[in-house]
Amino acid sequence: MRKLYFRFQLFAVELWIYRLRNGIKMAKQFTLEEVKKHNTAKDLWFTIHDKVYDVTKFIEEHPGGEEVLLEQGGGFATESFEDVGHSTDARELMKTYEIGEVAEADREGKKSSTKTTPSSPEGSNQNVLMSWLVPLAIAIGAAFVYRYFVGSHN
Among 45, 53, 76, 132, interactor with ligand HEM by CB under 6 A: 53
Number of amino acids touching ligand HEM (CB under 6 A) = 19
> How far is Cα 33 from Cα 82, in angstroms, rounded to an integer?
23
Among 13, 41, 68, 134, interactor with ligand HEM by CB under 6 A: 68
- The separation between the first and the last C-alpha atoms of the chain, rounded to the nearest angstrom, is 7
> How far is Cα 108 from Cα 78, in angstroms, rounded to an integer?
9
> How far is Cα 107 from Cα 72, in angstroms, rounded to an integer?
16
- 12 vs 72 by CB, closer to ligand HEM: 72
Q: Which of residues 81-110 bind ligand HEM (CB under 6 A)?
A: 81, 84, 86-87, 89-90, 93-94, 97
HSE-CB at 71 with a 13 A cutoff on CA atoms is: 10
Which residue ranges make up the site for ligand HEM (CB under 6 A)?
53, 55, 62-64, 68-69, 72, 77, 80-81, 84, 86-87, 89-90, 93-94, 97
